[in-house]
Structure formats: C-alpha cells, structure tokens
C-alpha cells in the first residue's frame, strides 16, 4: 500500500471521526448523552491524533493532545461538563477540522491559529494539585528500572497492523508519557529476506512500565489496536502464563532471524473501502443486465410454453437473482445523509455569531440513506438554504422578544424516506416571507407586470428567480440575489423538486423531494396511443376504470374523478404530451391514481396497463436537457425508449396541475 493511499485513507477516516465527534458534542449540549458519549468523543479525538502523529502533523497533534487531556478529566469526573466547556470543545473541534483540511490540501494555517485555543483548554484543565500534560509525548525511549509498582505489557501485533494505518512506535511513545518504560524486542517472528513481506508487522515487544498508573490508562493506549494484536497486561513481578510468548520452536529473542513461513493472518475485516468509480461501473453493468433480462422476458413471452418448458422457470429465477443483485449493489451506493447534515451545526454557530443571532439547529433523520451521488450534491443547496434561513428568516433576540417569541431561534433540519423518494425539510420559526415586499420588489425589477395579481404560492416562487433578492444591503452573507435559483437548479439536476411554504411572522419551510436512487427503479409501463410511459411504482396508490357518472367537469379546471367521497383531479397524458389515437373518454380508459409530495393525489388517464418492470434510469438532463414532468428515460425489453414520468412535476407544469392546486370548494381532496 503506497504512502499516498495511506494518507488518503487517514483523511477519509478522520472525516468520519469528526462526524462522530460533532454528533457526541451535540448530544452533550442537548442533554441527550448516555454513558458512552464522552468515551466515544474521546476515542474520535484520540484516533485523529494518533493518525496525525504518524504523518507528522505536529500542529494538529498538539491541539488534539490538549483536547484529549480535557476530555479525559471530563469523563473521569474530575471536571464538570458545563455549557462553556462544551462550547470551547466545539471551537477546538472546528479548529481541528480546519487543520485537517489544510493538511489534506497541503496548505498551512496561519501561524498561531490554534495557540489561543490550546491556552484556553489548558486553563480549563489546570487545577490545584493536578499537573496538566500539555506537551507532546516524548520521542525517545529510555531504559528504566522495573522494580516497584507498574505493568508488564506484551504486545504482539498481527501481520496486517501497518496496513490499517497503525504505528507501534506511537503506542510506545504514548506509554512512555505515563512513566519510565524499558523495552525489549522479540525477533522470533522475523522471516528471512527471501520471504520477508515489507508491509507485514513481524516484531513483538515486552514493555515494562514502572509507574503506579491505573490499568485503564494502559488499556486506553492500546484500545484502537486491540483487534490487531495479541495483548497481555500484567502487574510487574507477576509471571505471565498466557500463551503470548513466541512458539517453543522459535529462536531465542536475541538469536539471528531464520526463515519461517508466513502463517499469521490479519483479523477478519469488517469493512472495505472501494473506489466510487468501481462501484459506478458495477451499477452500470447491473443496469445493462436489467435491460437484457427485460429483452429475454419479452422474447420468452412470445415462445409457446410447451416448446421450451424450462424457459419460463429459468427466466423467473434469473429475474429473482438479478433483483437481489441490483438491491445489493444499490445498497453499496447508499450512505446516510449524516455525512452532509454533520457539516451544518458549525455553519449555524459561525453564522449566528456573525449575524448577532442566537439560533439552535435541531437535526433528525440523519441516518436516512440515499444514493451517494445525491448525497454528494446536497451540501451546496442545504448550505444556501441554511444561510438564507439565518439571514432572512430568524430574527435577532431583541426582535424575537418584542414579538413574543423565545430569544433563541430554532432551525429544524430533517430527512425521511417516503415511498421511492427522500424528503429533506428545512424549517425555521423566524419572520417568514414578506409577500408584499417580495411582490413589490419583483414589480420594481420588472420580473412581473405592474398590474399582476399573484397567489401566495406564486409570490413565494419568486424567490427562486435568478438575481432576485429583497435585501436592502449587500452583506458577506447575502443580498446579491445569488443562491436560491442555484438551489432549485441543483435540486432539479438530481431529478428532484423544491417547494416552499411560509406564514408571515411564524416562519418558513423548504421541502426537497429527491429520488432515492438515480440508477434503477420499479416502474409500471402504461400505454397512451402508440406511446409507452413509465410510472414509478412507489408513487402509485391504485388504478381503476371509472364509471361515467364518477367523472365531473369543473369550469376552467378540467375534470375530476369522484371516488369514495373525495375528488381527484384528472390529468390526461394524451393531452399533456400531444399523443394521437389515444383513448379520450376516461370511462373507457384506465385512471392511475398517484401520490405527489405537495399537491395530494392526482389521477392519470392512460389507455392501458402493460405491466410492471424494473427499469434502468437514464438521465435526460445529461443526455438531452431538462424536460418538466419527465424524470428520465429507459430502454424497454423490445428495444424502444420510454419516458419515466415525474408525476408531481407533470401536475405542476400542465393545465391539469392547476386543477390539483385549486380543487372546487365542495371537493374534499383525498390525502
């Protein structure tokens, strides 16, 4: 394994550890901590420090070491966990993240960047009768007497220790920080040069620590390699009886090394890091298999069963295995939205301080999993929305207090899976959208006509216009009209939608609806005239052939379907796409009732239902261009291209979509 690969692995693991650290700090700040929270926080900082030392990141290690010391006192109860100390640890974790980022980019942070934080952390820890270990562990090993209280540690690494970015010398140095250590090395497992594997750990050590420290402190040093070694810790002076010594046929400790076969294997690997490009390649291949399987089924359906009795059963088995393969591959591509959500608390803290506001961020549903491609592109839209909420939404403490609100504002960020989509919601309890001001600004900019009369929803949509802003002053945070249009464009490029709801004086709510995956979905093939379209199964509620008396005309709003006491707006696909030779009478066709994110249910009029198929999603955005109401395209078993419909987008961009948003007063819209 190359040095560059090890370095990249360290930064990937450190990013995950930072996520864990922020999660534990949030739990502590919000009184959600349990008995393991402080230990998990300590382990995260300790791991970042240990790896940083291996790569010579001295400034990072220096800050992490002082944080580690404070956390050690907090978890053993010698110091109390107070809001001020948690805030200091948050700032230190932010600085640690900055130092990590600088090292990853091969840049240098300003001289003295972390010194103030180190001093502040040291000041918290120092107390009468307790000396703080603010210096780094010693870099030299010196022999020491082993008489008196202490511990004998026999440390026998597994062969793969180095491959997992662990360094025994750092562990010995950390042990040396606890007291005098004498070291003897065991060369018994060292093979000859002709069979030596450079990346294997072949040495073992016996370490005598002559210091009356608790056993837990010794165990703590080795806690991250406990699965990567054979480890024995015994009081000095006691005979060690565990089978950790060299085999009886091994040469003496100081004997010259002899060639021995490589028999020791690493512990079972629980996870593996794979290049995303390789996973994408696998996903593409599975997609092609799905298309070929659909073609085989199409051919199989044309063959009389008696002509080839095993064909149908074989195709069914193939379909089952292929579905399991597809689900397994897609699971590899998914990851929790936590990787994006974990970046937001720091943004809220820094922006709140900059704007002079007191804002609390509440995060839920961060374990919700979504396609990795979608997750990676969520950061910028969510950042824009969060900055908008803090700058335009949440008021200053004084203004909130005057309005009868709590001085502290709240922003809620959540994620949940609903059907075949992921809904991400960001809401605040701020001032909401001032529609009169937005409309006046739009008329002033010529975006709408001076005599235009818009609905509340139409006014809210104006904030997504390019270059639109109501800010009176351009600041470092906002006011240039760049952001909300970018948010919508980015979300749409992922096959998603964004909607806004707002109540003036009470707050705003932005809802992002995103596809669960961008690769494969279960779809219902429907026919309209000579055309075929795909409806995502996850959005379908039911299908039926309506009776003539259940169809009603609404003046200026098209038709609605009466079903079980409710009214469902009808959307005729032949009219939406200009398809000739289609069924025009709803009572002679099929109505497929589908659920939309914001507009309730809508009935889609089609000629017939062809069948359910697993289809491979091909992007229209990347191959042709964005088409409202179309979520992508696919290749059917007969080789024809079919469009995959975005039901909610289609309803919003057609005349029948108006019927969805403006149901007749007497209608009880089914939800």
Higher per-residue confidence, 441 vs 162: 441
Please indicate, yes or no, if residue 267 is contained in any of the structural domains: no
Degrees, nearest 5: CA angle 325-330-331: 100
Question: What is the distance, to the nearest Å, from the Cα of residue 25 to the centroid of all Cα atoms in its chain?
Answer: 18
| 370 backbone dihedrals φ, ψ, rounded to 5° | -150, 160
Whether 603 shows a pLDDT value over 60: the answer reads: yes
Q: Which of 461, 484, 515 is the last residue of a domain?
A: 515
* Token output for 489: 């464009």
pLDDT above 80: residue 287:
no
User: What residues does 533 pair with on adjacent strands?
Assistant: 526, 643
In a domain, 240, yes or no: no
The proportion of the chain whose per-residue pLDDT surpasses 90, expressed as a percent, equals: 14
Query: Over the stretch 426-461, which tens digit does the pLDDT of each residue have?
Result: 999 999 988 888 888 888 888 888 888 888 888 888
Q: What is the CATH number of the domain that holds 190?
A: 3.30.70
> How does residue 411 score in pLDDT terms, banded at 50, 70 and 90?
very high
State the pLDDT at residue 50: 82
Q: What is the pLDDT of residue 622?
A: 64
Q: Does the residue 140 lie in any domain? A: no
Cα–Cα distance for residue pair 97/89, rounded to 1 Å = 12
Same domain, 291 and 303: yes
pLDDT of residue 129: 40
Q: What is the tens place of the pLDDT at every residue in 363-406? A: 999 888 888 878 878 888 899 999 989 988 999 999 999 999 99
- Could you tell me if 446 and 525 lie in one domain? no
Q: DSSP code of 473?
A: S
Between the alpha carbon of residue 242 and those of residues 223, 238, 658, the distances in Å are: 19, 12, 78
Residue 613 sits in a domain whose CATH number is 2.30.30.40
Asked whether residue 143 is assigned to any structural domain, the reply reads: no
Number of domains in the chain: 5
For the chain, the average pLDDT equals 79
What's the Cα-to-Cα distance from 605 to each of 290, 511, 524, 549, rounded to whole Å?
Answer: 28, 28, 14, 16
d(CA 542, CA 286): 30
Q: Look at 180-189, 580-589, 594-603, 637-646 and tell me which has the smallest mean pLDDT.
A: 594-603
Same domain, 358 and 506: yes
Q: Which of 334, 351, 369 is the last residue of a domain?
A: 334
Burial class for 267, CB neighbours closer than 10 Å (0-12, 13-18, 19+): middle
Same domain, 412 and 471: yes
Contact indicator for 643, 630 with CB cutoff of 8 Å: yes
499 and 535 share one domain:
no
Structural contact between residues 156 and 250, judged by C-beta atoms closer than 8 angstroms: no
Residue 230, strand partner residues: 156
Interatomic CA distance for residues 444 and 452, integer angstroms: 12
Q: How many residues does the chain have?
A: 671
Instruction: Give yes or no for residue 102 having a pLDDT over 70.
Output: yes
Helix locations, 334-426, DSSP H? 338-341, 344-355, 372-376, 379-388, 397-402
**Between 639 and 431, residue with greater pLDDT:** 431
Tell me the two tokens of residue 610. 């062809």
Asked whether residue 661 carries a pLDDT value surpassing 50, the answer given is: no
Tell me which residue of 573, 177, 520, 587 sits closest to 326, measured CA to CA: 520
What's the sign of the alpha-carbon dihedral 394, 399, 402, 403? negative
Same domain, 353 and 476: yes
361, two tokens? 């961020």
**Domain-located, residue 263:** no
Instruction: Tell me whether residue 491 is in a domain.
Output: yes
| 80-88: long-range pairs with CB below 8 Å, 24+ | 81/28, 81/38, 83/29, 85/124, 86/25, 86/28, 86/29, 88/117, 88/120, 88/121, 88/124
Identify the top-confidence range among 204-218, 224-238, 458-472. Answer: 204-218
Q: Are residues 201 and 69 in the same domain?
A: no
Same domain, yes or no, for 363 and 393? yes
Residue 319's domain spans which residues?
A: 279-334
Pair 574, 500 in one domain: no
Is 145 in a helix, a strand, or coil?
coil
More confident: 156 or 657: 156
Q: What is the per-residue burial (b if ≥16 Cβ within 10 Å, else e) of 510-540? A: bbbbbbbbbbbbebbbbbbbebbbbbbebbb
CB neighbours of residue 271 within 10 Å: 5
| Helices H / strands E in the chain, number of each | 21, 22
Domain of residue 415, CATH code: 3.30.565.10
Question: What pLDDT does residue 545 have?
Answer: 92
Band of pLDDT at residue 265, cut at 50, 70 and 90: very low
User: 108-119, pLDDT tens digit by residue?
Assistant: 889 889 888 998
pLDDT at 592: 92
Query: Which pLDDT tens digit goes with each residue over 27-61?
Result: 887 777 777 888 888 888 988 888 888 788 889 98
Diameter of the chain by CA atoms? 99
**pLDDT the model gives residue 634:** 84
Are residue 325 and residue 470 in the same domain, yes or no? Answer: no
For residue 332, which phi and psi values (nearest 5 degrees)? Answer: -65, -35
User: pLDDT by residue (tens digit) across 166-204?
Assistant: 778 888 888 888 888 888 888 888 888 777 888 788 899
pLDDT over 70 at 86, yes or no: yes
Q: DSSP string of 188-218?
A: TTPPPGGG--TTS---EEEEEE-S---HHHH
Residue 595 has pLDDT above 60, yes or no: yes
For the ranges 183-192, 462-471, 479-488, 540-549, the maximum mean pLDDT occurs at 540-549
Instruction: Using a pLDDT cut of 70, give the percent of the chain over it.
Output: 83
- Whether residue 424 contacts residue 438, with contact meaning beta carbons closer than 8 Å, is answered with no
Q: Is 141 a member of any domain?
A: no
Q: What CATH number is attached to the domain comprising 40? A: 1.20.120.160
Residue from 69, 192, 46 nearest 125 by CA: 69
Residue 406 has a pLDDT of: 93
pLDDT given for residue 404 in this prediction: 92
Distance CA 154, CA 358 (A): 53
* pLDDT > 90? residue 327: no
Same domain, 59 and 71: yes
Given a cut of 50, whether residue 278 has pLDDT beyond it is: yes
Model confidence pLDDT, tens digit, residues 112-156: 898 889 988 888 887 544 444 434 333 333 333 333 478 899 999
Domain stop point among 293, 317, 334: 334
The predicted pLDDT at position 639 comes to 75
Same-domain pairing of 418 and 433: yes
Local confidence band at 471 (pLDDT 50, 70, 90 cut-offs)? low
In a domain, 255, yes or no: no
Pick the more confident residue, 654 or 561: 561
> Per-residue pLDDT for 667 more than 60?
no
Helices (H), 30-184: 37-54, 58-75, 83-104, 115-125, 168-176
């Amino acid at each position: 394994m190359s040095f560059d690969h090890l370095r990249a692995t360290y930064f990937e693991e450190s990013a995950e550890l930072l996520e864990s650290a922020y999660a534990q700090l949030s739990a502590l700040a919000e009184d959600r901590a349990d008995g393991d929270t402080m230990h998990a926080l300590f382990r995260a900082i300790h791991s970042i420090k240990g790896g940083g030392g291996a790569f010579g990141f001295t400034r990072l290690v220096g800050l992490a070491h002082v944080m580690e010391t404070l956390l050690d006192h907090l978890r053993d109860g010698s110091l109390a966990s107070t809001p001020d100390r948690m805030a200091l640890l948050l700032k230190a974790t932010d600085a640690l993240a900055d130092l990590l980022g600088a090292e990853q980019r091969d840049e240098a942070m300003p001289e003295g960047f972390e010194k103030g934080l180190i001093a502040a952390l040291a000041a918290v820890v120092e107390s009468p009768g307790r000396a703080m270990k603010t210096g780094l562990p010693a870099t030299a090993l010196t022999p020491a007497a082993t008489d008196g209280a202490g511990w004998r540690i026999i440390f026998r690494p597994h062969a793969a220790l180095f491959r997992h970015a662990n360094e025994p010398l750092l562990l010995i140095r950390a042990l040396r920080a606890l007291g005098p250590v004498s070291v003897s090395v065991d060369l018994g497992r060292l093979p000859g040069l002709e069979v030596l594997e450079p990346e294997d750990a072949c040495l073992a050590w016996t370490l005598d620590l002559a210091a009356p420290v608790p056993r837990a402190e010794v165990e703590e040093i080795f806690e991250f390699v406990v699965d990567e070694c054979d480890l024995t810790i015994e009081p000095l002076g006691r005979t060690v009886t565990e089978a950790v010594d060299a085999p009886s046929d091994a040469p003496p400790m100081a004997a010259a090394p002899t060639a021995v076969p490589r028999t020791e294997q690493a512990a079972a690997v629980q996870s593996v890091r794979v290049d995303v490009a390789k996973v994408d390649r696998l996903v593409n291949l599975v997609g092609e298999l799905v298309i070929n399987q659909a073609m085989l089924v199409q051919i199989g359906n044309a063959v009389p069963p008696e002509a080839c009795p095993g064909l149908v059963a074989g195709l069914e088995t193939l379909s089952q295995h292929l579905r399991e393969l597809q689900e397994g591959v897609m699971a590899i591509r998914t990851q929790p939205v936590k990787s994006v959500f974990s970046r937001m608390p720091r943004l809220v803290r820094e922006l709140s301080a900059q704007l002079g506001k007191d804002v609390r961020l509440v995060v839920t549903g961060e374990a919700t999993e979504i396609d990795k491609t979608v997750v990676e592109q969520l950061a910028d839209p969510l950042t824009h929305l969060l900055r908008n909420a803090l700058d335009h939404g949440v008021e200053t403490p004084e203004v909130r207090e005057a309005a009868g609100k709590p001085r502290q504002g709240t922003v809620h960020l959540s994620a949940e899976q609903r059907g075949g989509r992921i809904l991400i919601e960001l809401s605040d309890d701020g001032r909401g959208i001032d529609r009169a001001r937005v409309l006046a600004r739009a008329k002033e900019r010529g975006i709408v006509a001076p005599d235009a009369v818009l609905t509340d929803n139409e006014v809210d949509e104006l904030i997504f216009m390019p270059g639109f802003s109501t800010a009176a002053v351009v600041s470092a945070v906002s006011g240039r009209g760049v952001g909300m249009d970018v948010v919508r464009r980015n979300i749409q490029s992922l096959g998603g939608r964004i909607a806004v709801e707002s109540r003036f004086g009470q707050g705003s709510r932005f809802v992002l609806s995103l596809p669960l995956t961008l690769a494969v979905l279960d779809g219902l093939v429907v026919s309209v005239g000579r055309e075929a379209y795909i409806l995502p199964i996850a959005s379908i509620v039911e299908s039926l052939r309506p009776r003539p008396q259940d169809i009603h005309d609404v003046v200026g709003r098209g038709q609605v379907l009466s079903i079980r006491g409710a009214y469902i707006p009808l959307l005729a696909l032949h009219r939406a796409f200009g398809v000739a030779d289609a069924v025009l009478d709803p009572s002679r066709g099929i109505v497929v009732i589908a659920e939309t994110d914001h507009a309730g249910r809508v009935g889609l009029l089609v000629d017939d239902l062809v069948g359910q198929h697993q289809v491979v999603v091909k992007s229209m955005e990347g191959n042709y261009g964005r088409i409202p109401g179309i979520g992508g395209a696919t290749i059917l078993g007969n080789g024809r291209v079919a469009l995959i419909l975005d039901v909610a987008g289609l309803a919003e961009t057609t005349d029948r979509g108006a019927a969805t948003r403006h149901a007749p007063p007497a209608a009880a819209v089914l939800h």
